[in-house]
Amino acid sequence: MRSIRLRGVLLALAAFTLALASFSIYKNYSPAPFFPENGQTISSSQKMGHEGADQIIPVDESEVLRLRKKVRVFVWVMTSPKSKQRARAVNTTWATRADRDLLVYMSSEADPSLPAVGLSVKEGRNHLTAKTMQAFDYVYKHYFHKADYFMKADDDTYVIMENLRYFLSFFDTKEPFFTGRHFKPEVKQGFNSGGAGYVLSKEALARLAARPKDPPLCKEDGKGEDVEIARCLEKLEVRILNSTDSRGRSRFHTHEPVKHVIKGVSWMHNYDANVVRVAGDCTKCWLYTLLSVSNWRVSSTEAELNQSTAA
Ligand SMILES: *[C@@H]1O[C@H](CO)[C@@H](O)[C@H](O)[C@H]1NC(C)=O
Ligand SMILES: *[C@@H]1O[C@H](CO)[C@@H](O)[C@H](O)[C@H]1NC(C)=O
């Protein structure tokens, strides 16, 4: 009994250290992130699946740059005047590995220092849907032709851009799909969690931007933006792409890594569209396929990082 508990604690510690190490890898851009074996190609049957998308070995920085050009991912980060500090932390960490001309912050007040776009919406949970709809409309208007994929993230989401581009490189952005942490309630095909961030293909964004507004096909305001956007996309025949890896492990996360590593988050077991699989069998390889983490407490994570890199 005692040894089992001890093993659990040791596992947790090891996992947490690995998680921190992976953050510091991405934070410092060295050593290089993790990418596929050279020459790996996708057959058409794999295109809308996920097989193969996680056979990963470390490669050099030129591979990172190649994918950066090949898979252009636009990211918009939802923020607010109240959570500027978080947006600043995003700005100095993972946003530095996004393309700067393909990243904007969306707020209710413009802030040229980030820069943040000021949308004409009221702040607060009850208006997250309007904020999201307007943000995607704005992105469509100004960036549609500049990128292949369009991601929504929160200002407490941590995104590993390199792994995200790699994952998306397996799919065809002309297909109408979106992907993220797939939860099953509320919408027939389910929805992707807002906190973990979700990604729309180019075709999905085109359909969303062209949604009928008079009379409206979709809810244009209200709470639960992730559910509403999924309802809307379902009406537009945009399907959810399975984002789990070939072992069924998750790539998008609603909580910090350590919560997902051992048991998973308890409420999620009935809520997730997939069996909640955690790192267990291979924490290290799971980290290579990790794309997003939410509830990222920037200040404490950074402090711990500094400690671990100083040690
Ligand atoms: C955010 O990052 C951009 C690009 O590096 C920089 O120009 C800007 O000053 C940063 N803003 C803040 C508030 O950190
Ligand atoms: C997603 O893929 C995994 C791994 O193949 C599979 O086990 C799971 O059933 C799929 N999920 C859905 C919702 O189809």
Spacing, Cα 4 to ligand 2 middle (Å): 30
- Residue 45: the pLDDT is 30
| pTM confidence score | 0.79
Higher pLDDT residue, 282 or 221? Answer: 221
Using an 8 Å Cβ cutoff, are 262 and 221 in contact?
A: no
Contact (CB, 8 A) for 95 and 79 = no
Q: Which ligand is nearest to the CA of 92?
A: 1
Residue 77, phi then psi, degrees to nearest 5:
-110, 120
Confidence of residue 84 (pLDDT cuts 50, 70, 90): confident
Confidence of residue 305 (pLDDT cuts 50, 70, 90): very low
Separation between Cα atoms, residue 155 and residue 75, nearest integer Å: 11
How many Å lie between the centroid of ligand 1 and the Cα of residue 92?
7
The CB of 91 under 6 Å from ligand 1? The reply is yes
pLDDT of residue 137: 98
Work out the number of other CB atoms within 10 angstroms of the CB of residue 51.
Answer: 13
Bridge partners for 78 per DSSP: 106, 154
Query: Which pLDDT value is given to residue 291?
Result: 67
Q: Is the CB of 113 under 6 A from ligand 1?
A: yes
Q: Any idea which of 127-131, 208-212, 256-260 has the lowest mean pLDDT? A: 256-260
- Residues 90-115 pLDDT 10s: 898 889 889 999 999 999 999 999 99
Per-residue pLDDT of 174-206, as tens digits, reads: 999 999 999 999 999 999 999 889 999 999 999
Which residue has its alpha carbon closest to ligand 1 atom 12?
A: 114
Q: What residues does ligand 2 touch, defined as CB less than 6 Å away? A: 242, 244, 248, 273-274
Measure 179 CA to ligand 2 centroid, in angstroms: 13
Mean pLDDT of 156-171: 86
Residues 107-126 as b/e (b if ≥16 CB within 10 A, e otherwise) read bbeeeeebebbebebeeeee
pLDDT digits (tens, 9 = 90+) for 149-159: 999 999 988 88
- Ligand with smallest separation from the Cα of 89: 1
